[in-house]
A and B are shown apart, each in its own frame.
Chain A
Amino acid sequence: MPTIANMAKVNGIVISGTPAVSDAHVLIATATASSSATLSFTLGLDNLYDVYEFRFENIHGQTDDKSFGFQVDTGSDTDYDQPMTTTFFQAFFNEDGSGEGLAYSTGNDQATSGDGNGVLSKILKDQGADADQSGSGILTLYAPSSTTYVKHFTTDAQMSQSSNYSQRVLTAGYINITAAITSIQFKFDSGNIDAGEIKMYGIAKS
């Protein structure tokens, strides 16, 4: 069981909260950004839980029109460059009443055999950096400790796009390795995470 003591400091992120054991959703750790290049969880991803949820709230980028995403790693590696095959689609509508739509975005997916494999898997796209703009949502990661299967995930997020679109982004895919996933990192593709919070929950097995 992760404890506050053994998770006191991970890659510079601030850890708070008390693990609970009586609820289906167990809060494992909280990472709070303050002009942070990355937010990384390097402890707590193990076989205690089948499913992990990362709830990110009011992620605010330092730089306008950048995308926020995640990558994972195994063992003691911290390169965060694992192969994925993913899908990416979004619904969007501008505040001025123009440009509504639902579309797949081929430029933001990844194919294990493609040129962009092993890069950041985007979950917020082209986010605005106005003072009131942010993105919030959930990443669900299934069975990261499996050593048999690839690792599936889904994301569902709502954000303010840089050109004042309301944008809902849904992505899904699998990390195409059978080794256990032991760490996860979130960041923008350029610039710091100015503010925001990510909470890691374990979903109890029973």
Chain B
Amino acid sequence: MAKTLISTHTASADSSIDITSGITSTYDSYEFHMVNMHPANNNVNFTFQVNADGQSGFNETITSTSFRAYLKEDGTGGTLGYDGGSDQAEGTAYQRILSTGTGSDDDQCVSGILTLYAPASTTYVKNFLAVGNGTDHGEYTVNSYMGGYINVTAAIDEISFKFDSGNIDAGTIKMFGVS
């Protein structure tokens, strides 16, 4: 089987979803499928960080890029451009993924996929790619592409997801191993 469902994590007013087991050398890469992540607070960004084997805290060094396409529900503002507010240069903050400025209306949320390559490698930096779509608080659809590398050669064995403010009110994250 090429993709194996390893675990499912369902949010219910949680400050974060931390996956602290299952990221090993068993699989070459890992996919995290995030479905309908709904924030408690308005105008927030969904993010992730990782922890390296033997370390503590979700605070590894990341260099990343971000670009997005967006359009307002009234048909205005259609744009494609680089998003300088969502990248990092050797930063240790939680990395934005999937979308930006997500609204907290009852029907608003963000969904998408994060692919993490070879987290168990102890030779290379860890490449990641994310693509997602969200409902911006200003009634925009926002299609975001974030990519980058975690600039450590130590193995990554833990990952954390959260909004940059407030709880994850609801949503599901499924972790798959790709063999």
Q: CB distance B2 to A136 under 8 Å?
A: no
- Give bound CA distance, A137 to B153, whole Å: 19
B115 to chain A: which residues have CB within 8 Å? 138
**B147 close to A95 (CB less than 8 A):** no
User: Is B124's CB under 8 angstroms from A158's CB?
Assistant: no
Q: Can you show 7 pairs from A to B with CB atoms below 8 A apart?
A: A91-B82, A93-B63, A102-B80, A134-B124, A136-B29, A167-B65, A168-B145
A57 located at the interface, meaning its Cβ lies under 8 Å from any Cβ of chain B in the complex:
yes
Q: Does A33 contact B (CB under 8 A)?
A: no
Having A20-B2, A23-B3, A94-B89, one finds 15 other A-B pairs with CB under 8 Å, namely: A23-B2, A24-B2, A25-B1, A26-B2, A58-B124, A92-B65, A93-B64, A93-B148, A95-B89, A96-B89, A100-B87, A101-B82, A134-B124, A158-B128, A158-B129
A183 within 8 A of B: no
Which A residues from 144 to 203 make CB contacts under 8 A with B?
156-160, 164-168, 170, 197, 199, 201
- For B84, the chain A residues whose CB sits under 8 A away are 100
Count of A residues near B, CB < 8 Å? Answer: 44
| Residue in A91, A97, A134, A199 whose CB lies within 8 Å of B65 | A91
List of B residues within 8 angstroms of A157 by Cβ = 129
Q: Could you tell me which residues of chain A, from 95 to 109, have a CB within 8 Å of some CB in chain B? A: 95-98, 100-102
Q: Does A27 reach chain B (CB closer than 8 Å)? A: yes
Q: In the complex the two chains form, is B65's CB within 8 Å of A168's CB?
A: yes
> A55 touching B82 by the CB < 8 A rule?
no
Given A95-B89, A96-B89, A168-B151 contact (CB < 8 Å): no
**A136 and B179 contacting across the interface, CB-CB below 8 Å:** no
Contact of B145 among A23, A91, A93 (CB under 8 A): A91
Known: A26-B2, A166-B65. A160 touches B149 (CB 8 A): yes
Asked if B117 contacts A201 (CB within 8 A), the reply is no
Give chain A's interface secondary structure class.
strand
Interface presence of B21 (CB below 8 A): no
Interface residues of B (CB under 8 A from A): 1-3, 28-29, 63-67, 80-82, 84, 87-90, 115, 117-118, 121, 123-125, 127-129, 131, 145, 147-149, 151, 153, 178-179
Asked whether, in the complex, the Cβ of B1 is within 8 Å of the Cβ of A23, the reply is yes
Query: Is A57 in contact with B67, judged by CB distance below 8 angstroms?
Result: no
Question: Which of the listed residues A26, A55, A136, A156 has the most CB atoms from chain B within 10 Å of its own CB?
Answer: A136
Residues of chain B within 8 A (CB-CB) of A135 are 127
**Which of A22, A132, A167 lies in contact with B123, CB distance below 8 A?**
A132
Q: Does A125 contact B (CB under 8 A)?
A: no
- With beta carbons under 8 angstroms apart, the residue of A55, A97, A101 that contacts B29 is A55
Once the chains are docked, how many angstroms separate the CA of A58 from the CA of B127?
8
Contact of B149 with A166 in the complex, beta carbons under 8 Å: yes
A42–B118 Cα gap in the complex (Å)?
26
Which residues of the partner chain A approach B179 to less than 8 Å between Cβ atoms? 27
CB distance B151 to A95 under 8 Å? yes
A93 near B124 with CB under 8 A, answer no
For residue A154, give the distance in angstroms from its CB to the closest CB of chain B: 12
Q: Is A131 an interface residue (CB 8 A)?
A: yes
Say whether A60 faces chain B, with CB atoms less than 8 Å apart. yes
Beyond A159-B127, A166-B147, A199-B28, is A58–B121 a contact (Cβ under 8 Å)?
A: yes
Cβ–Cβ contact A133 & B125, under 8 A:
yes
Complex contact B129–A168 (CB within 8 A): yes
Q: Are B2 and A97 within 8 A (Cβ)?
A: no
Q: What per-residue 1/0 map shows which CB atoms of A99-135 lie under 8 Å from chain B?
A: 0111000000000000000000000000000011111
B64:A166 contact, CB within 8 angstroms: yes
